[in-house]
Amino acid sequence: MPLLVMKFGGTSVADLDRIKNVAQKVKREVERGYDVIVIVSAMSGKTNELVGWVESTSPLYDAREYDAVVSSGENITAGLMALTLQEMDVPARSWQGWQVPINTTSAHASARFSSIPTENLNAKFAEGFKVAVVAGFQGVSPEGRITTLGRGGSDTTAVAFAAAFGAERCDIFTDVDGIYTTDPRITSRARKLDRIAFEEMLELASLGAKVLQTRSVELAMRYKVPLRVLSSFEDTDENSGTLLCDEDEIMESKVVSGVAYSRDEAKVTLVTVEDSPGIAAAIFGPLSEAGVNVDMIVQNISEKADVGPVTDMTFSCPTNQVARARKAMEDAKAAGTIRYEDLSIDSDVAKVSVVGIGMRSHAGVAAIMFKALSKENINIKVISTSEIKISVLIDRKYMELAVQALHDAFELDKAG
The pLDDT score that the predictor gives to residue 215 is 87
Across the range 123-143, mean pLDDT stands at 97
* Residues 6 or more apart in contact with residue 275 via CB below 8 angstroms: 301, 308, 309, 310, 311
Three-class SS of the chain: CCEEEEEECHHHHCCHHHHHHHHHHHHHHHHCCCEEEEEECCCCCHHHHHHHHHHHHCCCCCHHHHHHHHCHHHHHHHHHHHHHHHHCCCCEEEECHHHCCCEECCCCCCCCEEECCCHHHHHHHHHCCCEEEEECCEEECCCCCEEECCCCHHHHHHHHHHHHHCCCEEEEEECCCCCECCCCCCCCCCCECCEEEHHHHHHHHHCCCCCCCHHHHHHHHHHCCCEEEEECCCCCCCCCCEEEECHHHCCCCCCCCEEEEEEEEEEEEEEEEECCCCHHHHHHHHHHHCCCCCCCEEEEEEEECCCEEEEEEEEEEEHHHHHHHHHHHHHHHHCCCCCCCEEEEEEEEEEEEEECHHHHCCCCHHHHHHHHHHHCCCCCCEEEEECCEEEEEEEHHHHHHHHHHHHHHCCCCCCC
Tell whether 303 is in a known binding site: no
pLDDT, one tens digit per residue, over 238-278 is 778 999 988 877 765 788 999 999 988 999 999 999 888 88
Tell whether 9 is in a known binding site: yes
Tell whether 174 is in a known binding site: yes
- Of 3.40.1160.10, 3.30.70.100, 3.40.50.11540, 3.10.20.30, the CATH number of 3-248 is 3.40.1160.10
> Where exactly are the structural domains of the chain?
3-248, 254-411
CA distances for 302 relative to 237, 274, 278, 346, 381, angstroms: 60, 10, 17, 22, 18
Q: How far apart are CA 374 and CA 368, in angstroms?
A: 10
pLDDT, one tens digit per residue, over 285-299 is 999 999 899 989 988
Tell whether 180 is in a known binding site: yes
Closest CA to 161 of 137, 189, 179: 137
Q: How far apart are CA 98 and CA 145, in angstroms?
A: 9
Percentage with pLDDT > 90 across the chain: 71
Instruction: Indicate if the pLDDT at residue 54 is higher than 90.
Output: yes
pLDDT, one tens digit per residue, over 385-405 is 888 999 999 999 999 999 999
Classify domain 254-411 by CATH number: 3.30.2130.10
Tell whether 211 is in a known binding site: yes
Please name the amino acid found at residue 195.
R
Tell whether 8 is in a known binding site: yes
Mean pLDDT of the chain, nearest integer: 91
Instruction: Indicate if the pLDDT at residue 209 is higher than 80.
Output: no
Instruction: Indicate if the pLDDT at residue 355 is higher than 70.
Output: yes
**Predicted structure pTM score:** 0.82
pLDDT-based confidence at residue 305 (cuts at 50, 70, 90): very low
Tell whether 47 is in a known binding site: yes
User: Is residue 173 within 8 Å of residue 25, measured between CB atoms?
Assistant: yes
Tell whether 185 is in a known binding site: yes
Tell whether 7 is in a known binding site: yes
Lowest mean pLDDT among 27-41, 290-304, 382-396: 290-304
Tell whether 330 is in a known binding site: no
